[in-house]
Amino acid sequence: MGEILAKYDVWAAIWVTIQLSVFSAIGALIIGTIVAVLRVSPAAVLRGVGAAFVTVVCNTPLTLLMVFSILGAAFILGLQLSPDVSTNAFRWATVVLAVYHASFVCEAIRSGINTVPIGQAEAARAIGLTFSQSLTQVILPQAFRGAVAPLGSTLIALIKNTTVVAVIGVADCAGLLSKITENEGASMPTFLLFAMVFVLLTLPIGIATTTLSQKLAVKR
């Protein structure tokens, strides 16, 4: 194990995985919230757009989206996010992870919206708030409180799904593990090392979101 740590930059791979997780999670939260708003919009067209996004993205394999981002968007269509090959792959991986998990964030937030009593929205309209005002000031704050646990589960899934980015050449933990296995052969200690990395990244999130969801639970 010491030889592996000395020969390969494991810490750099872990840092890449952390960066992917953070940037993708931020993007997924923003996009997912917007799509959730579309799905509960009073306009049928906007609801259709939101539903179409969730249906298409959820039912498309993440690996396929990841490969399409490089082979289709980057090389065939010429949509380069950076002139540097490795940076371009990292940025496309971030975009794909954010878009893919945004559909799950959307459903988590929508489930939180469904927990808000309809009387809250009616009261907001009664005092003269518009749809956007009642959504941002009354409904969404309560919805996020009810969606903490599913959002935590989505974040954990996102972190584990960063392993898919190895297929487009991003030097994350999965990519380094593949390289080590190819050069040094399969080794149980090596697999356990990278498995422990993901346990350490995801376990605190699961504990934190469970505790937070219990504290923020709205008693009705």
pLDDT in tens, 28-41: 999 999 999 898 88
At 2, which amino acid appears?
Answer: G
Helices (H), 116-161: 118-126, 131-134, 140-146, 148-161
| pLDDT > 90 in the chain, percent | 28
In the predicted model, is pLDDT for residue 94 greater than 70? yes
Task: Read off the pLDDT of residues 50-63 as tens digits, 9 standing for 90 and up.
Answer: 999 999 998 999 98
| Distance, CA of 47 to CA of 136 (rounded, Å) | 18
Per-residue pLDDT of 158-173, as tens digits, reads: 999 998 888 777 777 8
Residue 22 has pLDDT above 90, yes or no: yes
- CA–CA distance, 190 with 86 (Å, rounded to integer): 24
Q: What is the CATH number of domain 2-216?
A: 1.10.3720.10
Confidence of residue 2 (pLDDT cuts 50, 70, 90): low
Domain boundaries, the chain: 2-216
Per-residue pLDDT band at 123 (split at 50, 70, 90): confident
Q: Is 26 helix (H, G, I), strand (E, B) or coil?
A: helix
Rounded to an integer, what distance in angstroms lies between the CA atom of residue 73 and that of residue 80? 8
